Chains A and B, each alone.
Chain A
């Protein structure tokens, strides 16, 4: 269940440079990436998912190395077995709820097998989406969209769930409800969750390791419930990767 991340990435656009230098490890069910916007939290999540490639470092999720610059390992996104919840959910607008949820099961030009259809309807049942299986994403409320996105992300039994500010698009009353749902989902599927949040309420709700980002694109302070955490500060190399995966 251990998650180990230790990556560096520099983004340059024009004369602006951004250095991401983050290093943490977590054994809990929840890891919360927190800090000001523009600090590189989303970039970290995208690197874990494989959407972005770090310049150097190592990523290990559930005893599986996904990226290791030293050993030239870079598992493609589609083989990382990751459930990713995008900030705006990125539901496929041309597909209805059932097709969105079943997207990861379907092969090109081949209809879903009976077994896969059963999986989809089971997920629709769990997330209370049965009635709107035929609806398009544009006709759903914010909470429903998030449920569809969660169901879609879970359909392939990912080994980790990555959530990019999962509650920021929801209003206050709904947030509390969706937090409880996320906890239920986590317990049911028994997978580690890494989420981005600025909200103290989220940190209270999801007891876990907190990785605090500073404004400079580097992890600057970490805290956790007695779990070993490493961080490097600024642009120094104080906590090199080998320390973490030793």
Chain B
């Protein structure tokens, strides 16, 4: 085969395209990188400046109220966070929090409008759907490469890779949620003379809300998993602890940092889920 057909140089094409892209927009990327780094470092700094115990108590109280005054999540959050603090991983936890926060918010801000566009336009749906499939099946590691090319190493490329990785669920679920609104209700909104915007805000989004929230929950969880992987390109946080432990085969340290991640993941998962439940009841 190889003799008959020369290898198509896809890899070098992509490389030169990337190179061109990076050179063309390098000024732009630098601005984003510096601004992003500045903002995120400040948020992390601010989070760390709050005494850990105050933040733990605050989260415990919020957990108590958000779950409808049940003790389960509150107790779990309290003990879990205290454990992380006790293990000396508080600073890393705050760095991870900042990363997850930024990548989730950016994913949601980009994802929901794209989802709405998809639900309204079959053409957009046909174009965007395969792109989402592509984004989701491509191994997450691959996104680290353009992230490094554009932004070097640090927090910003981490967020960039996480956004690409975590975006699809929000887009998909927003699209699905709006398409699932019963036809009769859409007709009702139309028959009274709603504009497209009125229909969207007063009928479709409220009715799609719980589906959209399920998508957001997925996005947050995915961005957490990607933030850990992004430690390979110099993103700080709990992921870096795991990576360091891996490189030095320190089983104990790796386990502790991994456990910290699990605790953090469970807390944010339950938080976003109960946010959803509260709104739909």
A binds B: no
Using a CB–CB cutoff of 8 Å, the interface residues on chain B facing chain A are: none
Using a CB–CB cutoff of 8 Å, the interface residues on chain A facing chain B are: none
